[in-house]
Amino acid sequence: MGLVAVTWMNCLGRCLPQKTRFLHTLKGRQSDQILMSPSLASLDLPDTWTPNSSCQSIPDIRKSFNEQTPTVIDGKLMATEIRSKIADQVRQMKKCLGKVPGLAVILVGQRRDSLTYVHNKIIACEEVGMKSVVTELPTDCADADVQNAVMRFNKDPSIHGILVQLPLPQHLDEEKILDALCLEKDVDGFHPLNMGNLSLRGREPLFIPCTPKACIELLIRSGVKIMGKKAVVIGRSNIVGLPTSLLLQRHHATVTIVHAFTENPEQITSEAEIVVSAAGVPSLVRGNWIKSGATVIDVGTSPVEDPSSEDGYRLVGDVCFEEVKKVASVITPVPGGVGPMTVTMLLVNTLDSAKRMLNFT
Ligand code: GUN
């Protein structure tokens, strides 16, 4: 089948991957639709949102809103502060044990957004002094190839966190692959036992998924109260929407999920004091979706062509920032909001995992 797995590592700065390594192969994208068994296929419809027109299409929309200056959360700054503390702890661990936390990433195929995310994760590991290893597999690899890579890292004592970058190509069985992850190294928190424990009251998952954890951290650090508040999560993906709704509930918010089949999503969303949008649809959330004074967290990161950018594209959020900032009291930008904090939460989870496995406090 001509399978080629490429594994490379940062070895703590000795052979740091170049960005070009990821960028030379920016080609087609895989569909992220999940394969379904025929009996469930009719019930488990994919969330296909109707794309909105661009934010500029309602010229007089500003007249209906109270103009106010919101707090724009600086996710980059918050991430820098947390990463500096992580770097201190990694140095301490190295001094005491002669070991550092190790993260393994498995990347299948060459989705443009996945390449960027993995690149950012590896650079972040390097910056805080963690070890990182990436195994790249071709798009047409088999389930067994990915499972073998997972099992190799499961056994590797220098690896404390493993993540399989999602979405996987359509022909692969994501469920089977995530099941193969050693629970103690599941720093993404996507193993069904971690997810199950997140959803059950009185139980604690070993790891909380990074983007939901980042959203909560951004809210808390910005002084936004969650307890008792009405929250709407837009999108119900396993990676973000679903675990974010569970985590907000754990923080005692009253949570509603809005998805592609929801009727009047704008009306439901406009009643919320906290909105987390994770639909992956540019310009979905307009000014009239938002209650005056609400907090808006934009998780959306959709690549759009941009010849003026270094990579030929840029990432845009779900929220019409210019419109919504006139209504919201707190808002995250894209880029520079949730993204840097998501990567930081991955570092937090990897450090926690290493501390647990190495019995280091
Ligand atoms: N794809 C998009 N976000 C994530 C993430 O947080 N973890 C993994 N493994 N894949 C992703």
In-domain check, residue 91: no
Model pLDDT, residue 36: 46
CA atoms within 13 A on the CB side of 354: 26
Model pLDDT, residue 16: 37
Q: What are phi and psi of 191, to 5 degrees?
A: -60, 140
Model pLDDT, residue 255: 98
Model pLDDT, residue 47: 83
Model pLDDT, residue 149: 98
Q: Are residues 213 and 72 in the same domain?
A: yes
The dihedral through the CA atoms of 75, 77, 81, 83 has a sign that is: positive
> Which residues approach ligand 1 with their CB closer than 6 A?
117, 163-166, 188, 210-211, 239
Which CATH number is 125's domain given?
A: 3.40.50.10860
Q: Are residues 214 and 179 in the same domain?
A: no
In-domain check, residue 88: no
Which atom of ligand 1 is nearest the CA belonging to 209? 6
Cα separation, 84 vs 77, in Å, equals 11
- Residues of the chain scoring pLDDT < 50: 1-2, 11-38, 59-64
Q: Are residues 70 and 142 in the same domain?
A: no
Rounded to the nearest angstrom, the distance between the alpha carbon of 222 and the centre of ligand 1 is 24
Which residue is closest in CA terms to ligand 1's atom 8? 165
Q: Are residues 105 and 142 in the same domain?
A: yes
Model pLDDT, residue 9: 67
Domain, as residue range, for 223: 18-41+54-77+209-340
Rounded to the nearest angstrom, the distance between the alpha carbon of 275 and the centre of ligand 1 is 21
Q: Are residues 63 and 110 in the same domain?
A: no
In-domain check, residue 349: no
Task: Give me the residue label for tokens 């469930």.
Answer: 40
In-domain check, residue 194: no
Which residue is closest in CA terms to ligand 1's atom 1? 166
Model pLDDT, residue 114: 92
Model pLDDT, residue 67: 63
Shortest CA distance to 133 belongs to which of 87, 101, 166? 101
